Amino acid sequence: MAQLGSLKIERPQPLSDIAADHIREAIINGDFRLGEALTENALSKLLGISKTPVREAISSLKREGILQGDSQKGARVFTLTAEQLNQLCVYRLTLESAAIEMAMKADPSGLAKRLLSICDDMSNARDAEDFEGYLKLDRIFHDAFFEFSGNQFLREGYRGVSHKVATLRTYLSLAPLRVDKSFSEHIKIAEFLETSQIEEALAVLGEQIDRGSHAINEIMGVPR
């Protein structure tokens, strides 16, 4: 007799979830700009689906905070004031620092090995001028702190802002010199953690996040 597990029917992913994934990635990749208006009609035509799943996707992305607005027919890609950007960076640094400290207690060698491996992939993407691939690896690098921390609540807290952080990284990547600086900082963080120099790694992380905040202000002309 077949095991019951083999008879389980896999439910297809809802169309609204697929639409939300596509819209989110377009925002993160910079295809939809910060503050850009997105309507149900336009997104429905772009995605080739009806308005109902698009409407549900918009509502979901509003709850994530990556879309803003009260209109029933659409929304705008999120924007941040200078103060909100500062608060986001402080929150991010607090969570990532805590995750690193927990990960270094739980599995220091595993974390270091994972980060160094990601850095190798980032180097290859950078050499190939695959900046989209580089940015995805950048996300994976920082996600690893939470993966190895073993704390689900830290992961959930970071997940709430991770899409905004990923979107802002895209704007930083518009300047190749900033990508070079970013890469050197990732290498330093990984190497410091490999030798258990946690404070030094956290200092580099803090400098990276602070530098990114100032650069975003300059690039985007963030309102105060």
User: 3-state SS of 85-99?
Assistant: HHHHHHHHHHHHHHH
pTM: 0.83
Secondary structure element (H or E) that encloses residue 24, with its range: helix 15-28
pLDDT at 171: 81
pLDDT on residue 1: 47
Helix (H) or strand (E) holding 76: strand 74-77
The pLDDT of residue 13: 86
Q: What is the pLDDT of residues 156-206, one digit of tens each?
A: 999 999 999 999 888 877 666 678 888 999 999 999 999 999 999 999 999
User: Exposure of 180 by Cβ count < 10 A (0-12 exposed, 13-18 middle, 19+ buried)?
Assistant: exposed
Question: pLDDT exceeding 70 applies to what percent of the chain?
Answer: 88
Rounded Cα distance between 64 and 91, Å, is: 16
Structural domains of the chain, ranges and CATH numbers in brackets: 15-77 (1.10.10.10), 82-220 (1.20.120.530)
How far from 169 is each of 14, 47, 139, 145, 148, CA to CA, in Å? Answer: 29, 25, 9, 17, 23
Mean pLDDT, the chain, rounded, equals 89
DSSP 38: E
Cβ pair 185, 208 in contact under 8 A: yes
Residue with tokens 């640094």: 93
Instruction: Report the C-alpha gap between 135 and 97 in whole angstroms.
Output: 21
